[in-house]
Structure 1
Amino acid sequence: MLDPFVAQIIKAENFDKFTTSDVRSAYFALKKDPSLDSAEIRRMIYAELMKLVKKGWLERNIQKQKGQTRFKKTVHFDATNLPVKPMALLPISDIEGIDKHKKLSAKLNYYKSELLLSLGESEAYKEIYLELPDLAEELQPKYNLARENSTKLLGKIRAIEAIIEQRNI
């Protein structure tokens, strides 16, 4: 089972040919938790990515010059069937014993990761349209829906950020 934030980051269609550091940067941006240990998170992310390499969903390439490891999604990569830890699937209101700040932060992080996915989806439709303009009629409603979803998510993010800021939770 994958960490829910790692899964949400690598699910994004426009997220490919990445390093552990790329995932770690996105992870910190989503979590917004200054107490996280950078080296520990890097090791955890690397272990999560290696699980997907073993499944054949990611390919691991080591650059000879810099010794940097990059991961690339394979044809077997299936974003809809990523094995995510069950807690990520529960609505925030169903998680007992978490204080208001953690609930709001978790909800905020969830919406941010969903926004990344939605933006990636709309970018993909736009790229496909540029490559295959004859599909415009079919792509336009899907593109509009993805953009509308992005706008709604951005509204939710702003609302939660305003509550956190106002209440200084």
Structure 2
Amino acid sequence: MSQLKHKNYFQIQFALSTDDFDGFTVKSLRNKLLHQNDEARLYAEDRRAIYRTLIAMVNSGELHKKVAPNPQQSTFHKTSLFIPEHTMAIKEPVILSDKKIDENSSANFDTCSDRSSIKYLESQLKEYQISLIISVGESEEYKSLFAHLPDMRSELEMLYMKSREKSSTLMGQITAINNVLSYCKSSSL
């Protein structure tokens, strides 16, 4: 599925990423954006842009709009197409090796049973996944700007490469945390 080109898409996608945020109105999404981060607050000011992005997400199949008699009470619901392809792959734990960790090795995973360790790893994972989504969006925007600003191509290429490097680093961090989480979950069985 190709990403939408709306400037606020990634902030809206992030706001909608929690499971409990579904069946929302434009107003409730706007309120969530206001409390999200500085960049999201900027986008929250433009109610029409939020609505345009939501309608584009409906047209792409990511959302379903349930129309109410009062248009302000119409609700949007996530569909199975909501999660972009690159974040689906991120959620899958990746195990780099079939080898079991030797009990005598320096790695100590006794804390895997500690719920706070798992919570910490999951919160770090979520942070890295969000950063990756933003970084991928940034890379895609630089790529699309190549065509519109050919005289700035060398500067855009430099920014594009930095963004791609950042994405690679984030993927490595996500893989590492997924590996540790997979080990912790398999060792607790």
AA of the residue aligned to 1:59 = D
Name which of 18, 35, 41 aligns with 1:27.
18
The answer to whether the 8 A contact 1:19-1:69 is kept is: no
TM-score, normalised via structure 1 length: 0.54
Q: Which residue in 1 is equivalent to 2:33?
A: 49
Q: Is the 1:24–1:42 contact (alpha carbons within 8 Å) kept by the matching residues of 2? A: no
1:16 aligned partner: 8
Normalised by the size of structure 2, how large is the TM-score? 0.49
Q: Hey, what does 1:158 align to over in structure 2?
A: 175
User: 2:162 is matched with which residue: 121, 125, 145?
Assistant: 145
User: Offset at 1:25?
Assistant: 3.9
Query: Relative contact order (C-alpha < 8 Å, sep 6+): which is higher?
Result: 1
Aligned-residue offset at 1:56: 8.1
Superposed CA offset, 1:4-44 (max 9, x none): xxxxxxxxx95526997x5554234xxxxxxxx446x9587
Are residue 114 (structure 1) and residue 114 (structure 2) matched? no
If you compute each CA radius of gyration, which structure gives the higher value, 1 or 2? 2
2: distance between equivalents of 1:46 and 1:149?
A: 29
CA contact (8 A) 1:122 1:147 kept: yes
Off by >4 Å, runs of 4+ in structure 1: 17-20, 41-46, 50-57
Give the total of aligned pairs. Answer: 120
Alignment root-mean-square deviation, CA: 4.0
Structure 2 unaligned runs (5+)?
56-65, 77-114
Per the alignment, residue 99 of structure 1 pairs with: 116
